[in-house]
Amino acid sequence: MLLLALGGARAATVIVVGEVAQPGAYEFQEGDTLSRAVTLAGGPTREADLGRAVLHREGRVLPIGLEAILKRGAADRNLELRAGDALVVPSVRREATVTGEVVRPGAYRFRDGDSVSDAIRATGGISARADPRRVVLRRGGVEIPLDLHAVLAHGEAEGDLKLRDGDAVVVRALPVAYVVGAVRKPGAVPVGSDDSRTLLSLLAAAGGALPTADLSRSLILRGSAAPFQVIPVNLKEALARKQETPLMEGDVLYVSHKGGRRGSHPLDRFPLTGDFEHLLPPGKSPLYRPSP
């Protein structure tokens, strides 16, 4: 019977919490044992990890091996209860967080033996922008990079680490470059980590250049913070020779319009209007100045 002590002499009680049917404080009789406390609380749930149950007694935390007591009748471990005891029955499921490019980011409970890919699948899987080759497992202050492409695509086990309680899984987005100016589809374009990360493939992904483009006066802006590196590019020549220029993540390709103003500074010669600023990564937009 669950007790609510309203005053007067306190009855001898034991607190049972965690994976039991009815957690709470229960009165017990002299000579009652740990197994009796579990019975009073309605017994363990299906999620109970009996092997990790502990007894809090007089400031100490005692491992008690509840599985041996309940399933094998280990009388030597079935301690008699004392007033103020607290029995904690943990869950077999631990908890890990999954964030980044997944369908439903959040905290997820898992069982012993579950892996990082199991946690990702529990979220509903990766998003269309996810790069399974750039998954990070944060554990105990350490970041562990993981390539889960083969694991998620083909079910391969190699490289798929087992989860631990408190793990944080981060699925990062595909690396992107940006195309602005005289192209058909300006904006962010995912770029691969192989030979597909080139200047001409980026231009093709943006739908190609507009008829108004001045292909001989393009440029690449490179860097994560100002001052940025400005790399002049002759796209007309590159297309004629099929000359591939490797790109880096975060690069911005600007394709100039014909008749653009010329000045002494590369950014004055290739000005971007406000129409394109919303397409650029944070921190790079202020670098570009509209034409006077």
- Tell me which amino acid residue 285 is: S
Tell the CATH topology of 94-173: Outer membrane lipoprotein wza fold like (3.10.560)
**What is residue 37's predicted lDDT score, i.e. its pLDDT?**
96
Domains 94-173 and 176-287 share a fold: yes
CA distances from 146 to 20, 130, 134, 155, 197 (A): 37, 13, 6, 15, 21
Sheet containing strand 60-63, edge to edge, reads: 24-27, 13-18, 86-89, 54-57, 60-63
Q: Write out the chain's pLDDT in tens, 292 residues.
A: 344 444 444 579 999 999 999 999 999 999 999 999 999 999 999 889 898 899 999 999 999 989 899 988 888 889 999 999 999 999 887 889 999 999 999 999 888 889 999 999 999 999 988 999 999 999 988 999 999 988 888 777 788 999 998 999 999 998 888 999 899 999 888 876 555 578 888 899 889 999 999 988 888 888 877 677 888 888 888 888 887 788 888 889 999 888 754 433 344 444 443 334 444 555 444 333 333 3
Q: Dihedral angle at the C-alpha atoms of 106, 111, 115, 119, nearest 10 degrees?
A: -20
Burial state string for 70-104 with b = 16 or more CB within 10 A and e = fewer than 16? beeeeeebbbebeeebbbbbbebebebebbbbbee
Tell me the per-residue pLDDT of 244-258, one tens digit each, with 9 for 90 and over: 788 888 889 999 888
Question: What are 256's two structure tokens?
Answer: 């100039």
Q: By the 8 A CB rule, do 235 and 215 touch? A: yes
Give the whole-angstrom CA distance, residue 51 versus residue 69.
10
User: Would you tell me how many other CB atoms lie within 10 Å of the CB of residue 270?
Assistant: 24
**What is residue 211's predicted lDDT score, i.e. its pLDDT?**
92
Q: Report the Cα 206 to chain-centroid distance in Å.
A: 29
- Tell me which amino acid residue 121 is: R
**What is residue 25's predicted lDDT score, i.e. its pLDDT?**
95
Q: If DSSP codes are grouped into helix, strand and coil, which group holds residue 281?
A: coil
H helix runs in the chain, sequence order: 34-40, 66-72, 116-122, 149-154, 199-205, 235-241, 266-269
- Listed by start position, the domains of the chain span 13-89, 94-173, 176-287
Quote the CATH superfamily of domain 176-287: Outer membrane lipoprotein wza domain like (3.10.560.10)
Question: What are 72's two structure tokens?
Answer: 């094998």
Give the whole-angstrom CA distance, residue 10 versus residue 283.
65
Beta bridge partners of 170: 99, 136
User: Would you tell me how many other CB atoms lie within 10 Å of the CB of residue 147?
Assistant: 13
**pTM for the full predicted model:** 0.58
**What's the CATH number of domain 13-89, 3.40.50.2000, 3.10.560.10, 3.10.20.30, 3.30.420.10?**
3.10.560.10
Give the whole-angstrom CA distance, residue 34 versus residue 32.
7
Nearest to 276 by CA among 222, 200, 206: 206
Q: By the 8 A CB rule, do 116 and 163 touch? A: yes
Question: What are 289's two structure tokens?
Answer: 């100045």
